[in-house]
Amino acid sequence: MRDPFAERISAFLDGHGIHDYWFERRAKHPAVIVNHAGVTHIHCYPGSTGDYRAVLNTVSDLRRQLALTGVAAKAKSVRPKPSHPRRRRVPTAARSVVAPVELRQVEERYFSRLEALKAQLLASPPVPAAPQTEEVAVDHQTRPRRLQRLICPFLGKRARYQEVI
């Protein structure tokens, strides 16, 4: 049995009324040699099918090479069926109705911490403006600092802290 490329190419050329052609086995790939309109065309094609479109692609390449794009074939070519069946979409009315699902509350990770920090800052009494003396400056530097870590996607990956008074 001949290879599917040779069978399809023969059917294509015979359908277009071209009878002056022959097949050759070249060094790496087979080729078809076609004498058409006074010009010799050599078209190499793959030796094995890569997928189901390979034969069709070879025939379309040969058609473009011979400039037969506007010419209708005399014989109808048969297109191979794909190996996978087509999936049929089920109409919307035939689908089953799904009962509504109760949504569960998910704890918010970022905004709740900022709200807690805001509440702490609002609850603390305002700090009076201290006079600029060295005692206050020394006292301020020796006082332990309480820092609240801020985790928020808007602040980026770097850890950021807010001093809690």
Q: Is 161 helix (H, G, I), strand (E, B) or coil?
A: strand
| Residue 136 in domain | yes
Answer yes or no: is pLDDT of 143 > 90.
Answer: no
The more confidently predicted of residues 124 and 32 is 32
| Residue 30 in domain | yes
Task: Return the pLDDT at 33.
Answer: 93
Q: Give the model confidence (pLDDT) of 12-52 as tens digits.
A: 999 888 999 999 988 888 999 999 888 899 999 888 877 77
| Residue 104 in domain | no
The more confidently predicted of residues 52 and 62 is 62
Separation between Cα atoms, residue 164 and residue 146, nearest integer Å: 5
Please tell me the pTM assigned to this model. 0.42
Contact 32, 8 (CB under 8 A): no
Q: What is the mean pLDDT of residues 52-71?
A: 83
| Residue 70 in domain | no
Number of domains in the chain: 2
Separation between Cα atoms, residue 108 and residue 110, nearest integer Å: 6
Contact 31, 23 (CB under 8 A): yes
Separation between Cα atoms, residue 79 and residue 137, nearest integer Å: 90
DSSP β-ladder status, 160-164 and 21-25: unpaired
| Residue 103 in domain | no
| Residue 127 in domain | yes
Domain of 36? Answer: 4-65
125 alpha-carbon distance from chain centroid: 56
| Residue 83 in domain | no
Query: Between helices 4-15 and 54-65, what is the axis angle to 10°?
Result: 40
| Residue 105 in domain | no
